Amino acid sequence: MNYFMGIDVSTTGSKALLIDLSGNVIGVQSFPHNLSNPKPLWSEQDPLEWWDATIKSIQSVLKSTGIKPESITAIGLTGQMHGLVLLDEMGNVLRPAILWNDQRTQAQCDEIHARFGKERFIQITGNVSLTGFTASKILWVAENEPDVYAKVKHILLPKDYIRFRLTCEFGMDKADGSGTVLFDLQKRTWSEEILSTLEIPRDWMPQTYEGPEFTGVVSKTASMTTGLAINTPVAAGGGDQAAQAVGVGAVSPGIIGLTVGTSGVIFAATPSALIEPEGRLHAFCHAVPGMWHFMGVMLSAAGSLQWYRDTLAKDLSFDELLEEAKQVSAGSEGLQFLPYLSGERTPHPDPLARGAFIGLTLRHQRGHMTRSVLEGVSFGLKDSFILIQNAGLEKIDQIRASGGGTKNALWRQILASTLNSELVTVNTTEGAAFGAALLAGVGAGAWKDVITACNQTIKITGHTSPDPMQVEVYQKSYEIYKALYPVLKDSFEKMNLQFGY
């Protein structure tokens, strides 16, 4: 038998997954990461913890499945996007990685736009410079930690640090590379103009590859550490959202990926480098060779429900909470929830945006509040959905839903009615890790291309259609939701000035 491994270095943990040629998941194991918030708006992790958790995950999945390492034909990598990993000449980590949800770099984002002109920057990269992206993090280190910056010789993203530890090679896939906003989106490679203008040496940046391309092989040292067979090929893979899209089959125009995890994502494959003129959508390369994608991201999706439950109803299970919400009618009797608990990206690139319950009355009970959280997150995802339609992808054939939030029937129904489109679920539940394994299989020749791999391994398992009565209610509620952020924006800024968030 031939098997393919996907390794996912997420924010919460490292996962190792094994699939066979039919796409059956043979085994999966994961180990957690610690998250550090040393100052308000900061979010960091130690890359050495990623490697330690990866080692344990690989060893554990090999042990639990009994699969011989020599039977693993190839390995694909995926992981959290945008995080800045700085290495010295010897490959030593210079400081904790600054993560995708870190919000400290607004001044550097403003500086990037000032140097290029915002419109010019969007035309090159397909994006505005946001605090979550990698470019502004590099400038922050240069300005605030010059002693660290002076030692930098290599810049990597989280999964690519694992690649380095596995293969001793510096490499990066084009999907994740474009997420640094140091890429020329159209050319699918580093932008010499951007690197030069930002004074980032070109030789710090690794070679980039298409998702299924091999970037190296497991080294002797990594083989001894992990239990993997020496010389096992390692594919480029993709950033977690591109690999997630492969894992659910969102690999051709018209099939939209919807992920409700800690963050929320609307993902739409495009056949060319389309750009939303104001940069309100992310426009990146896809892990599928020769494809690109639009992506709208909200920072607190299922994370909003997690916060709500942990803060206000810690003694209840999620099932108990959602059962209460099920008894409340659509619209939560006028109660609205803004899900900006970590700031926001799409459509409001605002690190100072804050969450809020608006419209509370004596009639509202816990079930109303719970349902309003589900509805507010759904409205936030609709913001991205509408932007994608208006940016040129009016034909939407299917929405493929994944992530922990979509496991619940009530939330799926709210999403289908809010978006006024059918949602389908698929047989693959391991998302990004599964997609990374498929990319490795394509690189090894198990499938002729990514679309074929998806068609042969991914099957639809369920359908959720819009409820016409809910659609009408949510259209009206959404109009109210859209008007709230502009009204509250100045208040959010004043809160930041007063309390220094």
pLDDT tens digit sequence for 171-224: 999 999 999 999 999 999 999 999 999 999 999 999 999 999 999 999 999 999
Characterize 145-158 residue by residue with b for buried, 16 or more Cβ atoms within 10 angstroms of its Cβ, and e for exposed: eeeebeebbbbbbb
* HSE-up of residue 255 (Cα within 13 Å, Cβ side): 17
- Please say whether the beta carbons of 412 and 268 come within 8 A: no
Q: Is 83 helix (H, G, I), strand (E, B) or coil?
A: coil
This prediction has a pTM of 0.90
Query: Rounded to 10 degrees, what is the CA torsion of 420, 426, 430, 436?
Result: -100
Please report which residue ranges of 25-157 form alpha helices under DSSP H: 47-65, 106-116, 118-125, 134-144, 146-149
Query: Rounded to 10 degrees, what is the CA torsion of 145, 151, 155, 158?
Result: -70
- 31-46-88 Cα angle (round to 5): 130
pLDDT at 342: 87
**In angstroms, rounded to a whole number, what is the distance separating the alpha carbons of residues 115 and 131?**
16
- Provide the annotated active-site residues: 240
Per CATH, 3-248+426-461 and 297-425+463-494 having the same topology is answered: yes
CATH architecture of structural domain 3-248+426-461: 2-Layer Sandwich (3.30)
- What stretches in the chain show pLDDT beneath 70? 394, 500-501
Q: Which CATH class is domain 297-425+463-494?
A: alpha beta
Tokens representing 236 are: 């480029």
pLDDT at 501: 57
**In angstroms, rounded to a whole number, what is the distance separating the alpha carbons of residues 31 and 17?**
12
pLDDT at 393: 75
Task: Enumerate the domain spans of the chain.
Answer: 3-248+426-461, 297-425+463-494
